[in-house]
């Protein structure tokens, strides 16, 4: 089999056999909060989640509280200021063109590559933000936003095996707004295929580290989160039935872990929490209303940042809460000096901290990029990072005119209360700490910051 340690080892005779260390399993649960797990455990219907609830402790998400930011922090054992991923999108300072960063833009090596180089053998299933996967002494199956198995799977022959078995990287979440029942059915099918892949990769026990991530709660949460908490919600029955399938999948992992012989360890983690959505706050519409954002022409779409980066623009936002000051030093068409930007940044932060809707705060806090990420942070560091009040979803798309409005979606990420558990009882505060626990478990030191 091309996905076993021995077969990959045979391609490179210089690689030594694995050093001794207890097996380590990492169970990822995208979007799962401690609060949700405990509430579900209390119903008596979810025995596997109840096991996790007994060990669960909260950690905080790195900001912005998005999957690519936080799963990359785990996979590199580094905070965003060191790996350089600050969201799903980024902008080219020379042209103003938006692009979607992927694993090739990450400034730190993954813990999986480092473990492979040290003689260990990791297997990784459905980790978000890992594509395009890089050849290494590991089995890697990337999750969302990967679209193509050929870029999502290493070793490459395994992609054909997965395709033949009908493996799915992700459910069709576009159905969430117009066909919730279809989305739930699609999620059920995707979860079943995930469990088949889990058995395929797990059963030879050739691995030292096994990582598997289930993203179902995040997908349900965006469209039907209140159904997971409100007993009278019309979709509660179907959502809890799907959660029973997730509980069975988690139980599968826990049972497999229990059956492992010898010393072993299990870590569980979420990349962020979730809560019920109350309203959306469009930062670019707010900046335009303040006279700080202008367009040279109507944006061709919500991602058309080039339309906004006119010399008269002083600030613009990228999803979900990153504000960039349009300085001459960083942007080809920028107009602000660094001194002007510093002053404007303070004014924007002050105004946003006071923003309300129907008497309720919209913003919990505004952070300055260098303070949040460190003065040596890599990549296009946001000047301001906005943390919304609970239940508020920040928007940073182009061309919107409504500053505060309702959303057809029902759930939103929370930076707080993300799930963490460790059968060895160690502590973590952020996802990057969980990555550090992995590398320390195998006797590796956290690497120094790489030069850019």
Residue 150, classified by CB atoms within 10 Å of its CB into exposed (0-12), middle (13-18) or buried (19+), is middle
Q: What is the pLDDT of residue 6?
A: 52
Q: What is the pLDDT of residue 86?
A: 98
Phi, psi of 392, deg, nearest 5: -95, 130
Domain assignment present for 380:
yes
| Nearest alpha carbon to residue 121 among 110, 112, 131, 132 | 112
Answer yes or no: do 191 and 308 share one domain. no
Mean of the per-residue pLDDT values for the chain? 94
Residue 375, classified by CB atoms within 10 Å of its CB into exposed (0-12), middle (13-18) or buried (19+), is exposed
pLDDT in tens, 314-326: 999 998 899 999 9
In whole angstroms, give the CA distance from residue 87 to residue 101.
Answer: 8
Q: What is the pLDDT of residue 448?
A: 52
Phi, psi of 165, deg, nearest 5: -90, 5
Angle between helices 236-259 and 216-224 (to 10 degrees): 170
Evaluate if residue 220 carries a pLDDT over 50.
Answer: yes
Q: How many domains does the chain have?
A: 2
Answer yes or no: do 95 and 197 share one domain. yes
Domain assignment present for 210:
yes
Q: Domain of 143?
A: 5-275+412-441
Evaluate if residue 206 carries a pLDDT over 50.
Answer: yes
In whole angstroms, give the CA distance from residue 204 to residue 256.
Answer: 12
Residue 343's domain is classified under what CATH number? 3.30.1360
Answer yes or no: do 343 and 376 share one domain. yes
H/E stretch holding 393: strand 392-395
Residues 6+ away with beta carbon under 8 Å from 148: none
In whole angstroms, give the CA distance from residue 88 to residue 98.
Answer: 10
H/E stretch holding 356: strand 356-357
In whole angstroms, give the CA distance from residue 204 to residue 450.
Answer: 36
Answer yes or no: do 337 and 239 share one domain. no
Tokens for 97? 């063109």
DSSP-based three-state secondary structure for 410: coil
Answer yes or no: do 128 and 226 share one domain. yes
Is residue 16 very low, low, confident or very high in pLDDT (cuts 50, 70, 90)?
A: very low
Domain assignment present for 447:
no
Is residue 446 very low, low, confident or very high in pLDDT (cuts 50, 70, 90)?
A: confident
| Nearest alpha carbon to residue 28 among 88, 82, 81, 74 | 74
| Nearest alpha carbon to residue 396 among 299, 302, 312, 298 | 302
Rg (alpha carbons) of the chain, rounded to whole number: 22
pLDDT in tens, 52-69: 999 999 999 999 999 999
Is residue 445 very low, low, confident or very high in pLDDT (cuts 50, 70, 90)?
A: confident
> Are residues 128 and 144 in contact, defined by beta-carbon separation less than 8 angstroms?
yes
The average pLDDT across 151-163 equals 97
Beta bridge partners of 75: none
- Buried-state track 46-70, b at ≥16 Cβ within 10 A, e below 16: bebbbbbbeebeebbbbbbbbbbbb
Answer yes or no: do 283 and 368 share one domain. yes
In whole angstroms, give the CA distance from residue 83 to residue 378.
Answer: 7
> Are residues 275 and 225 in contact, defined by beta-carbon separation less than 8 angstroms?
yes
DSSP-based three-state secondary structure for 375: coil
- Buried-state track 278-306, b at ≥16 Cβ within 10 A, e below 16: bbbbbbbbbbbeeebbbbeeebeeebbbb
Q: What is the pLDDT of residue 4?
A: 56
Domain assignment present for 333:
yes
Domain assignment present for 48:
yes
Evaluate if residue 449 carries a pLDDT over 90.
Answer: no
Q: What is the pLDDT of residue 447?
A: 64
Residues 6+ away with beta carbon under 8 Å from 2: 8, 155, 157, 158
DSSP-based three-state secondary structure for 112: helix
pLDDT in tens, 356-387: 999 999 999 999 999 999 999 999 999 999 99
Evaluate if residue 5 carries a pLDDT over 80.
Answer: no
Answer yes or no: do 208 and 91 share one domain. yes
In whole angstroms, give the CA distance from residue 377 to residue 54.
Answer: 37
Answer yes or no: do 268 and 286 share one domain. no
Evaluate if residue 8 carries a pLDDT over 80.
Answer: no
| Nearest alpha carbon to residue 78 among 59, 62, 98, 90 | 62
Answer yes or no: do 197 and 249 share one domain. yes
Answer yes or no: do 98 and 198 share one domain. yes
pLDDT in tens, 26-57: 999 999 999 999 999 999 999 999 999 999 99
pLDDT in tens, 392-439: 999 999 999 999 999 889 999 999 999 999 999 999 999 999 999 999
Tokens for 304? 């058309």
Residue 149's domain is classified under what CATH number? 3.40.720.10
| Nearest alpha carbon to residue 368 among 392, 356, 352 | 352
Strands (E), 194-241: 209-214
Is residue 2 very low, low, confident or very high in pLDDT (cuts 50, 70, 90)?
A: very low
Domain assignment present for 446:
no
Q: What is the pLDDT of residue 19?
A: 57
Domain assignment present for 72:
yes
Answer yes or no: do 267 and 313 share one domain. no
> Are residues 360 and 372 in contact, defined by beta-carbon separation less than 8 angstroms?
no
Is residue 15 very low, low, confident or very high in pLDDT (cuts 50, 70, 90)?
A: very low
Q: What is the pLDDT of residue 12?
A: 35
The strand pair at 360-361 and 363-368 is best described as unpaired
pTM of the shown model: 0.94
Beta bridge partners of 123: 139, 210
In whole angstroms, give the CA distance from residue 437 to residue 267.
Answer: 9
Answer yes or no: do 210 and 348 share one domain. no
Domain assignment present for 295:
yes
| Nearest alpha carbon to residue 305 among 97, 100, 87 | 97
In whole angstroms, give the CA distance from residue 312 to residue 308.
Answer: 9
């Amino acid at each position: 089999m091309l996905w076993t340690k021995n077969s990959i080892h045979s391609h490179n005779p210089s690689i030594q056999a694995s050093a001794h260390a207890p097996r380590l399993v990492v169970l990822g649960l995208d979007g799962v909060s401690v609060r949700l797990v405990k509430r579900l455990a209390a119903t008596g219907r979810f025995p596997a989640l109840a096991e996790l609830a007994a060990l669960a402790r909260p950690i905080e998400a790195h900001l912005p509280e998005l999957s690519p930011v936080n799963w990359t922090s785990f996979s590199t054992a580094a905070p965003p200021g060191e790996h350089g991923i600050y969201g799903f999108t980024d902008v080219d300072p020379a042209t103003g063109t938006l692009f979607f960063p992927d694993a090739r833009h990450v400034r730190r090596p993954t813990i999986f590559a480092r473990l492979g180089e040290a003689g260990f053998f990791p297997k990784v299933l459905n980790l978000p933000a890992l594509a395009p996967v890089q050849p290494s002494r590991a089995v890697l199956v990337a999750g969302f936003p990967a679209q193509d198995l050929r870029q999502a799977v290493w070793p490459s022959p395994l992609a054909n095996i997965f395709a033949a078995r009908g493996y799915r990287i992700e459910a069709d979440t576009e159905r969430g707004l117009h066909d919730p029942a279809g989305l739930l059915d699609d999620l059920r099918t995707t979860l079943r295929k995930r469990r088949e892949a889990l058995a395929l990769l797990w059963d030879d026990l050739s691995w030292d580290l096994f990582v598997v991530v289930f993203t179902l709660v995040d997908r349900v949460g965006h469209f039907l989160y209140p159904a997971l908490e409100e007993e009278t919600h019309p979709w509660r029955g179907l959502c809890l039935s799907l959660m029973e399938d997730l509980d069975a999948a988690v139980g599968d992992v826990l049972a497999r872990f229990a059956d492992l012989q010898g010393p072993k360890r299990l870590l569980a983690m979420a990349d962020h929490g979730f809560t019920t959505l109350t309203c959306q706050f469009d930062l670019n519409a707010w900046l335009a209303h303040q006279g700080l954002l202008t367009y040279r022409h109507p944006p061709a779409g919500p991602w058309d940042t080039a339309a906004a980066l006119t010399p008269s623009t002083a600030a613009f936002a990228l999803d979900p809460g990153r504000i960039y000051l349009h300085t001459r030093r960083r942007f080809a068409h920028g107009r602000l000096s660094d001194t002007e930007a510093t002053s404007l940044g303070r004014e924007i932060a002050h105004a946003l901290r006071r923003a309300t809707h129907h008497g309720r705060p919209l913003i919990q806090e505004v952070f300055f990029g260098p303070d949040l990420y460190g003065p040596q942070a890599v990549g296009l560091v946001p000047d301001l990072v906005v943390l919304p009040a609970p239940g508020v979803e920040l928007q940073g798309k182009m061309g919107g005119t409504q500053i505060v409005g309702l959303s057809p979606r029902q759930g939103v990420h929370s930076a707080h209360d993300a799930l963490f558990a460790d059968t060895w009882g160690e502590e973590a505060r952020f996802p990057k700490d969980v990555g550090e626990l992995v590398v320390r478990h195998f006797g590796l030191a956290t690497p120094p910051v790489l030069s850019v």
